[in-house]
Amino acid sequence: MAVNNPYQTYQNNSVSTASPGELTLMLYNGCLKFINLAKQAISKKEVEAKNTNILKAQKIIQELMVTLNTDVEVSQNMMALYDYMNRRLIEANIQNDISILEEVEGMCTEFRDTWKQVIQFNRQKQHATGGQA
């Protein structure tokens, strides 16, 4: 008999009930988390942990690339930036370079913060129009 983990249940419900915008925000936050863990692992000379966390960050960047709406012009710019971030993560992994991770972290933080503002703007717009946006 499996024991239910309340935290895991909460996480599963959070993901399954999140809007596409909130899911994108979760991806950015996850990427930042794994970059941070990779930086810590490099500092502690934990090669396996560094590799695992950078690979997880790369998977998230790849997911962001796959889910881009390529019909929108800004998406081509985003695709190029995501591709750059992915390549830089590979370099950081090979070179054990925290400064490269910090560069990617900065880009990801900017994207996340901008995305947060978009979500907030859309919510305000929805409330102003009585949920008709």
pLDDT tens for 14-45 read 556 678 889 999 999 999 999 999 999 999 99
Which bin fits 45, alpha (ψ -120 to 50), beta or left (φ > 0)?
left
With 0-12 CB in 10 A as exposed, 13-18 as middle and 19+ as buried, what is 104?
buried
CATH code, residues 20-120: 1.20.120.340
What's the pLDDT at 19? 86
Break the chain into its structural domains and give their ranges: 20-120
Question: What does the pLDDT read at residue 8?
Answer: 62
Q: In residues, how long is the chain? A: 133
Interhelix angle 73-95/98-128, rounded to 10 degrees, is 150
